[in-house]
Structure 1
Amino acid sequence: MNQPRSVLLIEDQHDIAANIWDFLERRGYRIDHAADGEAGLAAALRGRFDVIVLDLGLPRLDGLELCRRLRESDRVTPILMLTARDTLDDKLRGFAEGADDYLVKPFAMKELEARIRAVFRRGRPLTGSLVVADLHYDPATLRATRRGVGMALTRAQSVILELLMRRSPQVIAHAELIRAVWGEEGGDQAALHTHVYELRKLVDKPFEQTLIHSVHGVGYRLEAR
């Protein structure tokens, strides 16, 4: 499957939800809709979707908490977060909780579809397990282990880890990592650093040997020293 076809839309504003539903349905997508955070979480845990479109300001359970709970439940479905908030801190919080991309309201429907396709493409892994030192990563399942300890990765973290492992011990430039995660449009170094920080907490923090290394002003490399 080259294009996403099933979308879970979690949005409490009726007019916005109806417009998104109508547009995506005409484009051939299958849409499920939840109008509050608790219903959205239940739907996301119960069903299988190619992409989740998640509003940040939801009743009963806000989007950030919903996103966090999904990632804690080992759900790796790509999440595109919608919000009226356009500050860097808000974006970084969303990425830290496991969102893969961020779209600020108001937005054009064609841009929404482009972002949905982009987060879906980034989540389609290549086959073949990767091993660097005692770190193992399976792109087919998006699961990483180190010394038998499993890690639940977000889609963005998976993209970063896979690129670093495939090219280890080469230094991967910030710009290349940003393009890999967000494409030609979207993303910046601050967002990248947030994702890498969260990835390091999983890959390196519990262990004595550090594998992910910063190269100041250039990028990151993954290697055992």
Structure 2
Amino acid sequence: MSMSAVVLIIEDNRSLAESVGFYLESRGMEVDYAADGGEGYRLAVENRYDAIILDGHLPRMDGLDVVRALRREARISTPIIMATGRDTLDDKLAGLEDGVDDYLTKPFATQELEARLRAVIRRNRKEVARQVLKVGDLSFDPTCHRVRRGDRELELSPVSAKLLTILMRESPRVVSRREIERELWGDDLPDSDALRSHLYNVRKAIDRGFDTPLLHTVQSAGYRIADLPPGQRPPRVAAAVV
């Protein structure tokens, strides 16, 4: 069974990275590559991934240093599977304590890596779904699909509610159209106006009748939900364009 997910592989062994990447792509996933720790850290901070496969020994920035920087400095909670030749108990405990979600010792079977990858992605998606999301005076409990702004309860369709979940979960980050469409529909994209319609419905539900807009269009970049100071808010005319 395929899984719609975007995975970052940080691995300096090119043939291994390509082999794993081709396999995961054949299983329905999208894959990005980085050949060193510094580049891997940059990609992990600048993009959203469902999981990261990380080598322990890397040029420029060691694997555990990448984990520490992502968890402690960038505050990124993307699931990380460390796939490495470091196989002692102390190595594994150090990795898990620093924020690694799972540990796989080289050499490994690609099918086992896929199984572990699916497990951490499913677990992370369920954990995100259980959280009550809050931005400003807007709150959303995905477990019961209850959306409130201030003292007003809001109604959203299931797809618009999922769109709201994505934007609130990533707030205040700008989320690209491609990211949103992939998470909403996978590879089976609807017609080009579908996302536009759902963005309009979300904006109408959460912003109409309120003084402070929360859903913002960022020209040529994407969309975000954020409680911005007055000086940082786009003009209302621009914000209405989706």
Which TM-score applies when normalising by structure 1?
0.56
Identical residues among aligned pairs (%): 50
**In structure 1, what residue type is equivalent to 2:29?**
Y
1:127 is displaced (CA, Å) by 2.7
- Offset from partner CA, 1:160-216 (integer Å, 9 cap, x none): xxxxxxxxxxxxxxxxxxxxxxxxxxxxxxxxxxxxxxxxxxxxxxxxxxxxxxxxx
What aligned pairs does 1:111-130 form with structure 2 within 5 A after superposition? 111-124=112-125, 125=127, 126-127=129-130, 129=132
**In structure 2, what residue type is equivalent to 1:13?**
N
SS in 2 for 1:123: helix
Which structure 2 residue ranges, 5 or more long, are not aligned? 133-140, 143-164, 170-242
- Offset from partner CA, 1:70-119 (integer Å, 9 cap, x none): 00111000000011111100000101111000000111111010010011
**How many residues align structurally?**
134
1:3 is displaced (CA, Å) by 3.9
What aligned pairs does 1:165-204 form with structure 2 within 5 A after superposition? none
What aligned pairs does 1:57-136 form with structure 2 within 5 A after superposition? 57-72=57-72, 73-124=74-125, 125=127, 126-127=129-130, 129=132
**In structure 2, what residue type is equivalent to 1:55?**
D
Q: What residue in structure 1 maps to residue 25 of structure 2?
A: 25
1:4 is displaced (CA, Å) by 4.8
Q: 1:128 to 1:76 in 2, by over 3 A?
A: closer
Distance across 2 between alignment mates of 1:4 and 1:105: 26
- Offset from partner CA, 1:105-137 (integer Å, 9 cap, x none): 1111110100100111111224355xxxxxxxx
CA contact (8 A) 2:24 2:114 kept: yes
Q: What residue in structure 2 maps to residue 35 of structure 1?
A: 35
CA contact (8 A) 1:55 1:81 kept: yes
Q: What residue in structure 2 maps to residue 47 of structure 1?
A: 47
Distance across 2 between alignment mates of 1:128 and 1:102: 26
CA contact (8 A) 2:7 2:30 kept: yes
Q: Which structure would you say has the larger Rg?
A: 2
Instruction: Indicate the RMSD between aligned Cα atoms, in angstroms.
Output: 2.2
CA contact (8 A) 2:4 2:28 kept: no
Q: 1:49 to 1:64 in 2, by over 3 A?
A: same
CA contact (8 A) 1:51 1:77 kept: yes
Distance across 2 between alignment mates of 1:4 and 1:75: 20
CA contact (8 A) 1:4 1:50 kept: no
Q: 1:3 to 1:43 in 2, by over 3 A?
A: same
**In structure 2, what residue type is equivalent to 1:21?**
G
Which TM-score applies when normalising by structure 2?
0.52
**In structure 1, what residue type is equivalent to 2:130?**
T
CA contact (8 A) 1:4 1:51 kept: no
Distance across 2 between alignment mates of 1:28 and 1:128: 27
CA contact (8 A) 2:79 2:121 kept: yes
